[in-house]
Homo-oligomer: A and B are copies of this chain.
Amino acid sequence: MSRASDRAYEAIRSMILSGELPAGAQLAEEALAERCGVSRTPVREALRRLESDLLVTRTDTQRSFVADWSIDDVADAFELRALLEGKAARRAAERMTDAALARIRDANRRLGDAIRRPVPDVTVFLDANRDFHAAILDVAGSRRLAALLATLIEQPVVWRTAHHYGREALNRSYGEHEELIAAFARRDGPWAEAIMTGHILRAYHAYADAHRGLAERDQREAAE
């Protein structure tokens, strides 16, 4: 990660995910280059990568802007993610090894530890959650499937609302992961697929609820 273009990619990406660069903001190469402490060349490369991640859009005249993820876009992304992660879970169950299963169990153990603390540690939760899903994707053994899902997993809005999930939603995630592990242990592809699909779609509704809640709060605050 020491190459300048990687630094630029990470820097710009985190500025977008954190909301420091709000949706619709123009991304001028020169300005970004200065903020990242590199020249325009690596910034250009980073912008192209972010564009293929759909975090950045370009006008027909090649100007770049922070992509605007409407609630419909998010729903769309979740729908596709449910489809593809379901497929990944099925393939993973059919190809599961004991070593991979251990890795998946370990990720969910860490996830469980994070949410059982007096105050749930959302950062650790997100981290363990990512590992859990990454391990499954590895076992699924399809470079292409992994590449497709990569563009769907990191969503700016989702990232920012994750911290507002209730404890119940976190617990349910843990439980569904445990059920997935059971399906993997039995090498039951269809079962794993069904649970994973439901898991993603439930996560979508958890997000939509949290998002609605935040929007209402914003409105109340704006009214004062």
A: residues with CB less than 8 A from B are 41, 44-45, 48-49, 52, 54, 73, 76-77, 80, 83-84, 87, 142-145, 147-148, 151-152
Q: Are A144 and B77 in contact (CB under 8 A)?
A: yes
Q: When chains A and B are docked, how far (Å) is the Cα of A143 from the Cα of B57?
A: 12
Q: How far is the CA of A152 from the CA of B148 in the complex (A)?
A: 10
A32 to B48, CA, bound (A): 20
Q: Quick one: which of A45, A73, A84, A144 has the most chain B CB within 10 A?
A: A144
Residues of the B chain whose Cβ atoms lie less than 8 Å from the Cβ of A54: 143-144, 147
The SS class assigned to the A binding surface is helix
Residues of B within 8 A of A151 (CB): 144, 147-148
Please give, as numbers and ranges, the residues of chain B lying within 8 Å of A145 by CB-CB distance: 76, 80
Chain B residues whose C-beta falls within 8 Å of the C-beta of A49 in the assembled complex: 48
Chain B residues with CB under 8 A of A152: 144
Across-interface contacts of A148 in B (CB, < 8 A): 80, 148, 151
User: A46 to nearest B CB, angstroms?
Assistant: 11
B48, A142: Cβ atoms closer than 8 Å:
no
For A73, what are the chain B residues with a Cβ–Cβ distance below 8 Å? 143-144
**17 extra interface residue pairs, beta carbon distance < 8 Å, beyond A144-B151, A148-B151:** A41-B41, A44-B45, A45-B48, A48-B48, A52-B52, A52-B147, A54-B147, A73-B144, A76-B142, A76-B143, A76-B144, A80-B87, A80-B142, A80-B145, A83-B84, A144-B152, A148-B148
